[in-house]
Amino acid sequence: MDQVELESPDRQQMHWDAGDDGINLVTVVIMLLVLLGFVALMFWIVPTWFAGGNVNVTIRN
């Protein structure tokens, strides 16, 4: 029973560690993509919405 009790926690830790590492990598990539998306919205779409044609005029000028 002692060996089984020692083995099961080790296996659970291995699974949890692997899962956490995978989840962390995925979440980091997703967060980077989301942040890039919000930055693009803030610098491109939002100014065009607030300024409207003014941004187009400034770009043309």
pLDDT tens sequence across 9-55: 555 555 555 555 666 788 889 999 999 999 988 888 777 777 665 55
The torsion angles phi and psi of 52, rounded to 5 degrees, stand at: 65, -125
| Amino acid at site 8 | S
What share of residues in the chain are helix, strand, coil (percent, to 5)?
A: 95, 0, 5
- Whether pLDDT at 58 is above 70: no
d(CA 59, CA 47) in angstroms, rounded, equals 13
Query: Which pLDDT score is estimated for 34?
Result: 96
For residue 14, give both structure tokens. 């291995």
Instruction: Write down the pTM of the prediction.
Output: 0.40
